[in-house]
């Protein structure tokens, strides 16, 4: 019923090059997905939206005293820019206020990327920021902060360094940081295809995944694997009679702050009450791992997910929370519940680095989780009544609200509906 070899093969093809928003790699991936959906009998549509992207021209970090040494650095997109700042290096650990100097003009060394609140403070005081990777075994992160931070908080050119280099930097007194990057507006696209229900066509089950990657990263497990799984599920359901409508949406620009899903909820806001559930697929394909789910919904929804897993003999780890993924746009803006299905795997330690590559992928990673998700969708689409409470509990919604207002700090001054 579910072709896991097909899912694996498509994930491999999508992982051949990075798919950063607005690049040729993203366009090629979009074309491939459109082609595969069309071959499965769908009539996929593109929905465009505007998004800001960045391009890095130069990123350098060097120690000036008491020794001289260059340090490999990875830029943080949208953080800021400098043609070269020379300043004393101050260890600020977890952006602890007790360690943040009262004067300005220094460069901070932090043990992790600061929260939005801390970033706001640092942008007022520091001339730059160096962020350490969390473990000695992780390659350099290739990530960004939301572009709004640059506009609202100010200029804070920031880079990642390896854990081992960060330890060496504890002995540094003065450093020179260069980060040259430019920003531009571009278009990205959501891909939409659906199988219309024959009995309850107005009731929509969304199956979602993002197909973009961070800058310069193949993004095999994040999220070529999830995009391939969504397309493979569409293929499996293409010849099945479904009572409810199942709509597949592959989002662009997730890695830039859930931009594709935000555009979707705005464009389709008249479908809020028609949407039964969002089944979101993010992080898939890791060879050795297990099946997991984050339920952003009612207790009855969690029970339904768990019962389906038990029926199939799937040892599915289920928790109740929000996920840092596109599903949270629906939970927050629409108050529509979501089931996030993902692959828990050791490959997760390479997410957002150049090592998130095809070597992590294996057909076995798509087999059980694909069969479970396919059965879950079939049963839900063909049940006469929705077998769970279609609601988002207050505690879950508050987590989604905090995610957008505090973690992403995108809409902190707005009151959501």
**Domain end: 183, 200, 217, which one?**
183
pLDDT of residue 413: 45
Q: Which residue has the tokens 């989604």?
A: 400
Kindly report, residue by residue over 345-404, the tens digit of the pLDDT.
Answer: 999 999 999 999 999 999 999 999 999 999 999 999 999 999 999 999 999 999 999 999
pLDDT bin (cut points 50, 70, 90) of residue 328 is: very high
Average pLDDT for 37-45: 98
Percent of the chain with pLDDT over 90: 97
**Domain for residue 332, yes or no?**
yes
The CATH number linked to 168 is 3.50.30.30
Question: Does pLDDT of 43 surpass 80?
Answer: yes
CB 398 within 8 A of CB 404: no
| Phi–psi pair at 156, nearest 5 degrees | -145, 75
Whether residue 214 sits in one domain with residue 318? yes
In terms of residue numbers, what domain contains 203?
Answer: 4-53+186-405
Query: DSSP readout, 86-150?
Result: EEEEEEEETT-GGGS-SSSS-EEEESSPPPHHHHHHHHHH-SEEEEE-SSTTPPPP--B--HHHH
Note whether 114 and 95 are same-domain residues. yes
Q: Is the model's pLDDT at 411 over the cut of 80?
A: no
Average pLDDT over residues 226-248: 98
Is the confidence at residue 234, as pLDDT, over 70?
yes
Does one domain contain both 59 and 49?
Answer: no
Q: How many CB atoms lie within 10 A of CB 363?
A: 17
Does residue 355 lie in a domain region?
yes
State pLDDT tens for residues 263-316.
999 999 999 999 999 999 999 999 999 999 999 999 999 999 999 999 999 999
CA distances from residue 29 to 166, 179, 220, 282, 395 in whole angstroms, order as listed: 36, 29, 12, 16, 37
- CATH number for the domain spanning 382: value is 3.40.630.10
Residue 172 contacts residue 107 (beta carbons within 8 Å): no
Q: What is the pLDDT of residue 212?
A: 98
Residue 414 belongs to some domain of the structure: no
Confidence of residue 414 (pLDDT cuts 50, 70, 90): very low
| pLDDT exceeds 60 at position 42 | yes
What is the structure's pLDDT at 1?
Answer: 81
Which phi and psi (to 5°) does residue 24 adopt?
Answer: -60, -35
Which of 123-127, 218-222, 246-250, 410-414 has the lowest average pLDDT? 410-414
88: in domain: yes
Helix 24-39 with 225-237: angle, nearest 10 deg? 20
Q: Quick one: 263 and 366 in the same domain?
A: yes
How many other CB atoms are there within 10 angstroms of residue 384's CB atom? 8
In the chain, the number of structural domains is 2
Q: Are the C-beta atoms of residues 317 and 292 closer than 8 Å to each other?
A: yes
Mean pLDDT of 139-154: 97
For residue 416, is it within any domain?
no
Last residue of a domain, one of 183, 214, 246: 183
How many angstroms separate the CA atoms of 208 and 329, rounded?
Answer: 12
Residue 16, pLDDT above cutoff 50: yes
Q: Whole-angstrom Cα distance, residue 166 to residue 380?
A: 50
Q: What are phi and psi of 44, to 5 degrees?
A: -65, 150
Residue 11 falls inside a structural domain: yes
Same domain for 68 and 42: no
- Of 165, 183, 201, the one marking the end of a domain is 183
- pTM score: 0.96
27 assigned to some structural domain: yes
Residues 137 and 219 in one domain: no
Residues 45, 60, single domain; the answer is: no
Contact 310, 372 (CB under 8 A): no
Q: Residue 415: is its pLDDT beyond 50?
A: no
Residues in the chain: 417
Which of 154, 186, 171, 164 has the alpha carbon at shortest distance from 80? 154
What is the average pLDDT across 44-61?
98
Q: What share of the chain has pLDDT > 70, as a percent?
A: 98
Indicate whether 280 belongs to any domain.
Answer: yes
Dihedral Cα 106, 109, 110, 116, nearest 10 deg: 30
59 & 162 share domain: yes
């Amino acid at each position: 019923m579910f072709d896991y070899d097909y899912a694996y093969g498509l994930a491999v093809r999508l992982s051949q090059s990075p798919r950063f928003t607005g690049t040729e790699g993203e366009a090629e991936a979009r074309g491939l997905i459109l082609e595969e959906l069309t071959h499965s009998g769908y009539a996929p549509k593109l929905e465009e939206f505007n998004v800001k992207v960045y391009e890095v021209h130069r990123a350098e970090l060097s120690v000036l005293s008491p020794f001289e040494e260059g340090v490999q650095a990875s830029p943080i997109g949208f953080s800021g820019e400098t043609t070269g700042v020379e300043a004393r290096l101050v260890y600020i650990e977890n952006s602890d206020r007790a360690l943040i100097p009262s004067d300005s003009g220094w460069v901070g060394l932090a043990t992790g990327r600061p929260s939005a609140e801390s970033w706001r403070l640092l942008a007022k005081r520091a001339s730059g920021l160096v962020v350490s990777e969390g473990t000695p075994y992780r390659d350099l992160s290739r990530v960004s902060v939301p572009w709004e931070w640059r506009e609202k908080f100010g200029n804070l050119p920031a880079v990642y360094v390896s854990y081992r280099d960060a330890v060496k930097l504890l002995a540094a007194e003065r450093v020179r940081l260069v980060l040259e990057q430019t920003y531009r507006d571009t278009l990205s696209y959501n891909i939409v295809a659906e199988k219309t229900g024959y009995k309850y066509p107005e009731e929509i089950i969304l199956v979602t995944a993002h197909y973009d990657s961070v800058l310069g990263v193949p993004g095999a497990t994040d999220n070529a694997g999830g995009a391939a799984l969504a397309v493979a599920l569409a293929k499996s359901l293409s010849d099945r009679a479904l009572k409810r409508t199942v709509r597949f949406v592959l989002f662009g620009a997730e890695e830039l702050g859930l931009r594709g899903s935000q555009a979707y909820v705005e464009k389709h806001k008249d479908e809020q009450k028609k949407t039964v559930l969002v089944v979101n697929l993010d992080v898939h394909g890791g060879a050795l791992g297990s099946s997991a789910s984050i339920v952003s919904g009612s207790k009855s929804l969690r029970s339904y997910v768990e019962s389906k897993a038990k029926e199939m003999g799937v040892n599915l780890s289920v928790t109740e929370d929000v996920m840092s993924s596109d599903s949270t746009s629906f939970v927050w803006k629409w108050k529509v519940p979501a089931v996030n299905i993902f692959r828990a795997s050791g490959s997760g330690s390479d997410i957002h680095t150049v090592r998130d590559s095809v070597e992590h992928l294996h057909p076995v990673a798509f087999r059980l989780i694909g069969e479970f998700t396919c059965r879950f969708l079939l049963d839900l689409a063909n049940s006469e009544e929705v077998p769970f409470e279609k609601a988002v509990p207050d505690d879950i919604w508050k987590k989604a609200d905090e995610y957008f207002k505090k973690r992403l700090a995108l809409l902190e001054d707005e009151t959501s509906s």
